[in-house]
Amino acid sequence: MAVLLNAGSKVLSVNGMGAYGSSQVRFMREFGTNIVGHVMPGRGTQALDGCPIFGTIAEAVLETGANAAAIFTPPMGLRDSVIEAAHAGLGLVFAAAEYVPLHDVAIAARHARDAGMWMVGPNSTGMATPGEAVLGALPPGLTLPGRVGVIGRSGTLTINICHLLTSAGLGQSTVVHIGGDVICGRNPHEWLGRFIDDAATDVVVYMGEPGGSKEYAMLDAIRAAGKPVIALIVGRHVPRDKKMGHAGALVGSDSESAASKISALREAGAVIARSPFEVPVLIKQLMAEHGRSETA
């Protein structure tokens, strides 16, 4: 997964000069992320923290050679920022904003996909390749370089799983919180495909929740994976037609329940964890079965 985000990634901060964005930019730089410029329309050719400020993403890409961006544009403007990033030729963007209108996300995601750009989010905590770079706010102290790929629908759960893995000495190849909204820039099965193809990942952990049908698109990939996939689906007792936290966590039919998803994933060959605490235990068991004592 370092092909998407690594120490060599050149990252732009887009509309990240407000209180929230600037704090996250400082956090990313402390992690080691190579921030090469800021994009803020109307701010001219100034500089901030030693990085130039540009009026457009296209101008910033031309001048810096950037290939990724952390976008902190507010919800109502996110669509335009993502489209601009796609047209500028970026390969990866992180979209932090929550409460982005559904039709805006759909349009932005289509432009990103058509351009071959991978979008993390919106409504995402971020993405990290431990020891190399982070987009967003995944705490570096809770991650560890290693060979476990982590895909999460919940930001809090993603962070907690990283903490449990790291505490157990199980490092991560890349961690991605794909976003909690109904529409994501890329869906779980697409991320799973990248981890399956990644030679630096030995086992994949997927964390889902009730609502939607995204997990069912993962089944064929799990069957053909050639490496273990551990699935943790939370919300087994969520009542029907009641939204639980995320916009996408709404059970509208039996197939959208945690129980139905768990059954389908297990049948496809995924190893099912019933709690976050089981995840590191299961990984160590799988590694022992494959003749490995650790993945870090």
- Secondary structure (DSSP) of 151-170: EES-HHHHHHHHHHHHHTT-
Are residues 214 and 296 located together in one domain of the fold?
A: yes
Residue of 111, 177, 246, 290 marked active site: 246
- Percentage with pLDDT > 90 across the chain: 78
Asked about 290 being catalytic, the answer comes back as: no
Cα–Cα distance measured from residue 278 to residue 262, given in angstroms and rounded to the nearest whole number = 15
Residue 75 located in a structural domain: yes
What's the pLDDT tens digit per position in 10-52?
Answer: 999 999 988 889 999 999 999 999 999 999 987 766 788 889 9
Cα–Cα distance measured from residue 202 to residue 206, given in angstroms and rounded to the nearest whole number = 13
What's the pLDDT tens digit per position in 46-94?
Answer: 788 889 999 999 999 999 999 999 999 999 999 999 999 999 999 999 9
Are residues 150 and 276 located together in one domain of the fold?
A: yes
Are residues 57 and 186 located together in one domain of the fold?
A: no
Are residues 146 and 282 located together in one domain of the fold?
A: yes
For residue 254, give the nearest of 211, 215, 219 by alpha carbon. Answer: 211
The two beta strands, 203-208 and 145-152, are parallel
Q: What is the mean pLDDT of residues 110-126?
A: 97
Are residues 79 and 144 located together in one domain of the fold?
A: no
Residue 189 located in a structural domain: yes
Which range marks the domain in which residue 8 is found? 1-126
Look at the block and give the residue holding tokens 């976008």. Answer: 71
Cα–Cα distance measured from residue 210 to residue 171, given in angstroms and rounded to the nearest whole number = 27
**Partners of 92 in the β-ladder:** 68, 118
Between these two residues, 151 and 257, which has the higher pLDDT value? 151
pLDDT at 239: 64
Contact 108, 119 (CB under 8 A): yes
What's the pLDDT tens digit per position in 199-221?
Answer: 999 999 999 988 888 999 999 99
For residue 275, give the nearest of 241, 235, 243, 247 by alpha carbon. Answer: 235
Residue 133 located in a structural domain: no
**Which CATH number is 178's domain given?**
3.40.50.261
Residue 18 main-chain phi, psi, to 5 deg: -80, -175
Number of domains present in the structure of the chain: 2
Are residues 151 and 289 located together in one domain of the fold?
A: yes
